[in-house]
Amino acid sequence: MGKRCLSVYVAEAVRHHLEMDRLAEIVADFESCHEPLTDTEVEAVAVEMFGHCPPGAA
């Protein structure tokens, strides 16, 4: 893997991590005002966002 490919890979990984951090903040904010999300709700959103339930999720 060349340096440019590695840079793109790292940038994409950082972007994804920041998006997941922001998603966690949104969920925490929601749950602070409402009941916690159920496993079923989390799985449904994972399927909608990713097309499947990620390994290790609920």
Q: Which of 55, 32, 34 is nearest to 43 (CA)?
A: 55
DSSP assignment of 30-44: HHHHSPPPPHHHHHH
pLDDT at 3: 74
**pTM exceeding the 0.75 threshold for the entire prediction:** no
In whole angstroms, give the CA distance from residue 35 to residue 19. Answer: 23
Please give the chain's pLDDT, 58 residues, in tens. 677 788 999 999 999 999 999 989 999 999 999 999 999 998 898 888 888 766 665 5
